[in-house]
Structure 1
Amino acid sequence: MAPTSAGLPSFVERRPVQDDDFIYKELKQLFMIGEFVPGQKLTLPTLAAAFGTSQMPIREATNRLLSARALEAPPRRTLCVPDATTERMDALLPLRLLLEGEATRLAVEAKGTELVAELEAINAEMDAKVPHEDIKAYLRLNQKFHFLVYQSCGNAELIDLIELLWMRYGPMLNIVRSGVLSKSGHTRHLEVVSGFRKRNPEIAAAAMQSDIRDAAGPIRQAIEDGLTERRRAE
């Protein structure tokens, strides 16, 4: 991993590909797994230093993140990660449930039992991270589990929409980076696998939606608790 500036996640060292494309993909991945904090301020010089590159490819990559609404640029053009609010969650969560449920249903119809062994292996890896409280690795594996399913749905437009939602939703995971997420994931993932094993799209889709809802509960509670604390401090 390349050394990075304070307050930023670790970035993978640059590879021999076009800078802005690589940087965008790296930032996109980090947004999707909750490596950035809601409300976090980002500057082009800081990101350029973290990646060891100039500001030009950073500007191109962050413009794509702005277009995806994963980043915001309030007055004075300071880039920032959107705040975590119940309103934002209420806007994004129903869309995730709808689209990810449909992608799961289509994946079962397309793949049947083909994904069972690989999904079980990922879930076992996730279980192994829980005792060590390796939440970063756990969230990466969780994303791998979900997108193995979604990328098997046969609908590229649907996958793109789901990725956009994850980029916008991901930073909210940062406010509950503790073992609480892993407690619900294991059972729901087993239910998803069961749906594939039985070739039952509805079982798998319902389990995936339940997994998303279960993970959303602690996030909503953390947002509401934070709001209560701020009101008390006023």
Structure 2
Amino acid sequence: MSDQHAKLPDHQRVYRQLREMILFGELAPGQPVTIQGLVSTLDVGMTPVREAIRRLTSEGALAFKGNRRVSVPQPDLEQWKDIAFARLAVEPELARKATKRLGPDDLDRLSGYDDQLNAAIDKGDVRGYLEHNYRFHAYLYELADSEVLSSIANMLWLRAGPSLRVVLGRYGTANLPDKHAEAMEAMRAGDGEAVAAAIHGDIEQGIAQVRETLLSA
């Protein structure tokens, strides 16, 4: 558990822990998990686990399966097309908006996330790649200061992240989508359109990899 999580109330801490388990592939699409199992894994009472599950179910990140079981939804090809359409519409716009608000400290932080991502790729560290890729995008979108679009993007990442983990489990970290260097160069130049284009390309490559996996399943 991180120090940041440790300082939170139980219901917030459990929500964030479970959310990261989904985002970073510790819970795979279609994998059933019992509420009691999560209580044991997270070492907390049943009430905060139930609250976290309720919140994540409302966000589309979990689905009830009966008998106190939940699982990460497993999108089919048509659902993935919808996720892809929404991501490509929302996330480049957030990146464009964020570019206007970037300061030197923000650029340093984004560059740090990208360095950690590249190190994870070099080491074949799937969990590290998923985490630092998410941190990069999430921080950039936060800077856009767009509550509506950011909430949509967060929901889409919860639906898309586990499927990318499946791809990485099959193919490893070689040839992963990464247009962050292009995005960083455009950010430093203050070119919002170029940042949006780089983020669009980054997302599009990841979407294509998942689509190919779904088609071959």
Fold equivalence (TM over 0.5) = yes
Q: Point out the structure with max Rg over C-alpha.
A: 1
Q: Quick one: structure 1 residues 41 and 119, their matched pair in 2 at CA, closer, same or farther if it must change by over 3 Å?
A: same
Please say if residues 38 and 171 of structure 1, whose CA atoms lie closer than 8 Å, have aligned partners that are also in contact: yes
Q: Which runs of 5+ in 2 are unaligned?
A: none
Q: Quick one: structure 1 residues 49 and 92, their matched pair in 2 at CA, closer, same or farther if it must change by over 3 Å?
A: same
Residue 56 of structure 1 is matched in structure 2 by 47
- State the Cα distance separating 1:114 from its structure 2 match: 5.7
Output one character per residue of 1:166-219: Cα deviation in whole Å (capped at 9) or x when no partner.
Answer: 111111112112565563433x11111122122111110011011001011121
User: Structure 1: how far apart are the matches of 2:87 and 2:61?
Assistant: 15
Matches within 5 A, 1:71-110: 71-74=62-65, 78-110=69-101
Residue 68 of structure 1 is matched in structure 2 by 59
Matches within 5 A, 1:113-152: 115-152=106-143
Q: Quick one: structure 1 residues 154 and 182, their matched pair in 2 at CA, closer, same or farther if it must change by over 3 Å?
A: farther
User: 1:207 aligned to 191, 198, 217, which one?
Assistant: 198
> Which range moved further: 76-85 or 39-48?
76-85
User: 1:34 aligned to 9, 15, 25, which one?
Assistant: 25
- State the Cα distance separating 1:91 from its structure 2 match: 1.3
- State the Cα distance separating 1:112 from its structure 2 match: 6.3
- State the Cα distance separating 1:78 from its structure 2 match: 3.1
> What percentage of aligned pairs have identical amino acids?
27
User: Structure 2: how far apart are the matches of 1:40 and 1:158?
Assistant: 29
Residue 230 of structure 1 is matched in structure 2 by none
User: 1:45 aligned to 15, 25, 36, which one?
Assistant: 36
User: Structure 2: how far apart are the matches of 1:181 and 1:84?
Assistant: 22
Output one character per residue of 1:5-58: Cα deviation in whole Å (capped at 9) or x when no partner.
Answer: xxxxxx999725321211111111222233321111011110001111221211
User: Structure 2: how far apart are the matches of 1:202 and 1:180?
Assistant: 31
> Which range moved further: 31-40 or 73-82?
73-82
Check if 1:223 corresponds to 2:190: no
Q: How many residues align?
A: 216
Residue 6 of structure 1 is matched in structure 2 by none
Q: So what's the TM-score if we normalise by structure 1?
A: 0.83
Output one character per residue of 1:117-169: Cα deviation in whole Å (capped at 9) or x when no partner.
Answer: 33233222222222321110111111111112111101123222211111111
User: 2:175 aligned to 142, 159, 183, which one?
Assistant: 183
User: Structure 2: how far apart are the matches of 1:182 and 1:160?
Assistant: 31
- State the Cα distance separating 1:104 from its structure 2 match: 0.2
Residue 192 of structure 1 is matched in structure 2 by 183
- State the Cα distance separating 1:73 from its structure 2 match: 1.6
AA aligned opposite 2:175: K
Output one character per residue of 1:35-91: Cα deviation in whole Å (capped at 9) or x when no partner.
Answer: 321111011110001111221211111011111111112455531211132122111
Please say if residues 34 and 68 of structure 2, whose CA atoms lie closer than 8 Å, have aligned partners that are also in contact: no
